[in-house]
Structure 1
Amino acid sequence: MPNTARNHVSNNMIAANGYSALRAVRETKGYTIEELSLTCGLAVGEIIDIEDGKDADPAKLRRIASALQVPEEELIKVPASESRPTQQ
């Protein structure tokens, strides 16, 4: 089962060359691809494609972020100008 005691994701791990942010978060949280698949409702192949950079569907990334209990911003890179609504 996932290790819920480890909630902090090291920026060094995410920044490592050839290592996807999703994979870093998933492994830090203690999930296998199969466990994450069951938790978020996506197929194993879909998660593998996302980790390999072949698919970046925001809806899928939101489901994964919710399953991993991390902010969506950890997996979805939103430009600063779009990250927060402006008040008028």
Structure 2
Amino acid sequence: MTNAMSNLDRATYRGRVDIGGAVKQSREARGYSVEDLSLTCGLTGAEITRIELGADADPARLRRIAAALQVPTSTFHLA
């Protein structure tokens, strides 16, 4: 059994990492810890960490984070 990723899988993974990186960068620019953001947007610290690691790119959660950080949703590649 191989662990090879298809090109589509790699592109999807990179996209999620980019979104996660944008969330982390925006959070840090605001001076927020994960806990601060958690309290502000109503998500758990674990949910935010998963998003920042690229394991979750749920648009509804990203919109809540964008609102809490007072950044446009387009910061996280959302319309």
Residue aligning to 1:71 = 72
Structure 1 segments, 4+ long, off by >3 Å, are: none
Following TM superposition, by how much is the alpha carbon of 1:39 offset from its aligned partner in structure 2, in angstroms?
0.2
Structure with larger RCO (C-alpha < 8 A, sep 6+): 2
Identity among equivalent pairs (%): 54
| TM-score, structure 2 as length reference | 0.72
1:40 has 2:41 as partner: yes
Q: In the TM superposition, what are the counterparts of 1:1-88 in structure 2 within 5 Å? A: 20-75=21-76, 77-78=77-78, 83=79
| TM-score, structure 1 as length reference | 0.65
Query: Which ranges of structure 2 fall in alignment gaps of 5 or more residues?
Result: 1-17
Number of aligned residues: 61
